[in-house]
Structure formats: C-alpha cells, structure tokens
Structure 1
Amino acid sequence: MSRALNWEREGSIWPHRASSRFVDCGTVRWHVQTMGEGPPLLLLHGTGASCHSWRDVMPALAEHYTCIAPDLPGHAFSRASGGAMTLPRMARELRALLDRLELSPAAIVGHSAGAAIALQMIRDRGANFPVIGFNPALAPFPGLGSQLLPLMAKLLFVNPLVPRVFAGIASLSGETARFLRRSTNSRIDAAGLHCYEVLLGNAGHCRAALAMMANWDLEPLQRYLVDLQGPVLLVHSERDEAIPLASVRKAAERLPDAQLEVLPGLGHLAHEERPAEAAEHIRRFLDARAKVA
C-alpha cells in the first residue's frame, strides 16, 4: 500500500483508540495516546513500530502513572516534514511535543532506538530523571557495519520502489509473522501482529523507518554516555539476536548510574511478549528511586 495510513481506515483496529489524539507541533503532526493518572511517563517505541508496541504495558502502569505514547515522526499515524530525522532532531521534536502538552516527564521508557532517543533527550536538556531502556539500541553496528548499514538504508530510501516492494512482500499472508520471528526472536499476540501487518504493509511507514536508519548516528551518544548523571535501567533479553548483549553491558558500564537486567527466554520484543513483567520492572525501578530521593 503506497498511500498514507488513515486513522479512520487502518486506525479503526488500533489498540486503545479512544485514548488517541492528534497534536500539531512544529514540523510534525503527532499521533499520541495518553492513559492513566499520576506522574507522566513518556513511552518511546523503536524503529518500524508504533505506540501499539506499548498496548499492554500502558494499562498495567496507568493506575499510578500518566502514560504518554506517541508514534515517532513519520511512523504509523504521525506525519513529519522538514528533512532528515536524525537522533538529535528526533529528541528536539519530542521535547517540543512535551512543551506543547505542558508535560515534564518523571521518567522516559524507550524500546530499542527509543532508548537512544530517551538518553539524547536527557543529555540535551541536562536533566537527571530516570530512563528505562528495553533491548536498547545504543551502539553502532560493529566494524564495517557501522558505515555500510546506514549507507544501505540510504540507498534503499532514495529508491522509491523499495518501500513499496517491501510493503508488498510484508502484506502477503503469514509473511509478517515469519519476518518478526526471524528478526526479533519474539512471539507476540494476534493483536500486536495485526498492527505490524498494517504497518509493514504500508510503503510510507516503511520509508520512514528506512529514513530513520539512514540518518541514525550513535557514535556521539556513545561518547557522552559517561556524562549522563540520571539513573538508568537497561533491560535486555537473552534471545535478542538483533542487539548483542555485550553492547548493552558496555553501555551499562559507561553510564555513571546504571543497572542491567537480563530476561531469560525472550526476544527483541520482550515488552510485548511479557508486558506485565515489563511493567513490573518499570514500577520496581521507579519505586526504588523514589525511596532514595
């Protein structure tokens, strides 16, 4: 499908649809879901996903927190313009969104690339509120991969046929489920799988994911990890082959105030496989920090 995702059409099956709203801010028209009462938690999904990634985590947190889960710019139902969506720009756009909503997060929870955005945000703002990163993508690919993979993404991004071809393949019966199992080592529920089928079957969404990969540079983030003073919890999965555990261990060692927890038997989408367990990790970490404070 080459046309943009439509909220009234594809969005009709979206989890927690009643919690959604659209916010125009700068160069982005954001799709944001908000749920619960209490201190604000910003939930950031990873590349190629959407706020649906938190569909079962949000209700588990909503009793004690106000959960704010946007679709990243260009992803799913958020529209973006104005050029390359680099890591610093993504962080700036999210800060502008929070300012528009008049919210200051008590903590940021990010999955994969969302964890990198969270750390970029606290670095830029000089803040020290907690960050929780699930299966965090914080390091460049090793060796030549650090140059070749972004270059490949750029080459694919500039070819207008590639997102359409990818979306066409993903839309074939059963292909999305096989792709997710191969790429994430995770098995998720039917509701989540249906959302990924919609996303990966849409050329515009695929183009945004490729553009994000093409413009992603994690080397500066690696350099200033040692300067980030806020408490950080990194939660990684034993069966996540997309992000090496060794790279997450190194990040935890460089961060001044970090904990690392490893989940046995789960893949890259651990928070979707066991959302109650993911929510418990978040609550326990934030409760412990609140007692220290």
Structure 2
Amino acid sequence: MTVPSPYADRLSRLPVVRREVEVRGGKTAFWEYGPADAETTVIAVHGFRGDHHGLEPVLAFLPEVRVLAPDLPGFGESEPVPGRTYDLDEYVAWLSEFAAEAAPGAVILGHSFGSIVTSAAVARGLETPRLILINPIGAPALEGPKGIMTKLAVLYYALGARLPERVGTALLRNRLIVRVMSITMAKTTDPELRRFIHDQHDTYFSRFSDRDVLRDAFVASVSHDVSEVADAIDVPTLLIAAQRDDITPIEVERVLATRFSDASLVEIAHVGHLIHYETPAEAAGAIRRFLRIPVERHP
C-alpha cells in the first residue's frame, strides 16, 4: 500500500492482534480488532478477491466492538487445502468451523461475496444472535442489467483458468484489469479517496494463492445469492445497501429485505458497491444502532 488511508488515525487507535487457527485442515489467519473484553464480538467476512483489510475502514468507526476478521481460505494469509473445491458448501463449512473455534455465538457480518457465505451459513444452522450484510448480493449475478458484464467476467476467469498456468495467473493478476474493476465500482468524486481505493485494490486484490482458488470463489459468487436462503434465516438481520450499486440495484435490495422474517434495510445514497471504503462511518453507525436493539428471546 502506497497511498495513506483516510482512516489511518482512527485505525491506529484500535488494538489489533494477528492470530491463526486451523480450520478444515488449513491455516486460517485472522485479525482481532478492538477490546478483548468488549460486550459484543463480530466475525466479519470480506468480499471476493479481497482480504480482511477491506473492512478496516468500517471497523475504525466501531472501536467499542471486538471484531474477528479472517482471510477467506486461499486469500490474503489464509491457506487453502490442496485438492479441495472451494464452492459455497465448502465456504459454509469453513465459516461454521471457524466460528466454533474462534468465537462461538458471535454476531456474523458479511460484505458482498461474504454476504452470500454468511447468509448461507446462518440459514444452515450457524448460531448467531444477529446477521449483518453490507452490499448484499441480492439477486442472481447473471441476470438483470449487469448480466452482460458478468458474462464477460465469466469468460475472463475461465480463460485465466485454462491458459498455461504462468500466463493464466498473470492475466488474473493483471494490474490494468484490476484498475478497470476499481474505477467501475468507485463512485466518489474525491480524488484522494479514489486514489486510496485504487491503491487498496492494487495492493490486495491479487493476493489469492492460486488460480484454482480464485476460479472456485468466482463461480461460487456468481452461482448463488442471498435471496436463495433469506426465507430460512430467523435471526434479526441488517442489510446496508447502496443506492448506486451496480451489482445489486437498490430496488432489488428493497425486495430482498422483505424476504427475511426480521430484517431492516439501511440505504446509503451517492455510493455504489464500495460502502466499506466510501461511507464507512455511515455503515458503522447503522451497525451500532442495530447492535443496540434488544434481541427478543423466545423460551
């Protein structure tokens, strides 16, 4: 990372400890933010191609909360297990085991692809008092107004997987393509913030272990969405959605919110799929208010 974070001062005041735990036969690296004795612990799952760094701006505005932020298997500093297919079933099993090892009963949070993994895990029995979804993927990626762009992405990742390994991996890590992704998603007109966002993607978007892991994650990300499991989730759920999100339009997020038995939707204006970078204070404020709402307990 070469561009200073606008949130560096706040982050510098947070206690941060790097930890590791073995999950499903591989090492999962995770970072513990905030006070160890905090009243609330949150497990935060990042999005596709990123790692735990992506959610740091939001965590900077939640200093009173203990947050465990793992790198998904095969991304950042977490190891994949050789020969394993990282489809949604595997990610759900990984998250369920990680939560049992690191923080049973924690609040679960997922951003983007992380929203697919976390919602599926909770729907399948991962115990949590609350679920938080930032930029949730609310509809099939291959449908809707951006379906053509998604189909192009499918071709890109398929080509990266089929070319000779060195060439394919170089294509998948191509800085120009990463920059195009970043420019497409960023909505802010603040030049300093845009430089920071692009630098974050340049630094962390290619930290996948190998192209097989990246291909599996991409296939999982476009083959599933939160709407598949919303009906099966019975814990209080917060959806934080962007009014200019190119991946899931806000109209779709409004419909998605009605699919849960107990959900609230917070809409953030003038931002797209990068709430965690562009409007982290607003996201953190919504999370803080949500965490303060008493959870109704049934005998």
TM-score scaled by structure 1? 0.80
Q: CA deviation at 1:203?
A: 6.4
Asked whether 1:79 is paired with 2:79, we answer: yes
- More helix as a share of residues: 1
Q: Distance in 2 between matches of 1:181 and 1:237?
A: 17
Q: Distance in 1 between matches of 2:185 and 2:278?
A: 15
Query: Contact 1:122–1:129 at 8 Å: present in 2 too?
Result: no
Matched with 1:181 is 183
Alignment gaps of 5+ in structure 1: 1-13
Q: CA deviation at 1:18?
A: 5.1
Matched with 1:58 is 59
Aligned partner letter, 2:31: Q
Distance 1:123 1:249, change over 3 A: same
Asked whether 1:157 is paired with 2:161, we answer: yes
Query: Contact 1:233–1:285 at 8 Å: present in 2 too?
Result: yes
TM-score scaled by structure 2? 0.78
Asked whether 1:141 is paired with 2:141, we answer: yes
For 1:125-162, what per-residue CA distance to the aligned partner results, in whole angstroms no more than 9, with x for missing partners?
16462111111013212449599578534453343323
Q: Residues 223-234 of structure 1 correspond to what in structure 2 (within 5 A)? A: 223-234=228-239
Query: Contact 1:185–1:241 at 8 Å: present in 2 too?
Result: no
Aligned partner letter, 1:68: L
Distance 1:223 1:237, change over 3 A: closer
Secondary structure, counterpart of 2:68 in structure 1: strand
Query: Contact 1:42–1:105 at 8 Å: present in 2 too?
Result: no
Matched with 1:31 is 29
For 1:219-240, what per-residue CA distance to the aligned partner results, in whole angstroms no more than 9, with x for missing partners?
5853432122111111111121
Q: How many residues align?
A: 273
Secondary structure, counterpart of 1:282 in structure 2: helix
Q: Distance in 1 between matches of 2:247 and 2:54?
A: 17
Distance 1:202 1:56, change over 3 A: closer
Runs of 4+, deviation exceeding 6 Å: 14-17
Q: Distance in 2 between matches of 1:220 and 1:185?
A: 23
Q: Distance in 2 between matches of 1:100 and 1:110?
A: 18
Distance 1:216 1:195, change over 3 A: closer
Q: CA deviation at 1:42?
A: 0.7
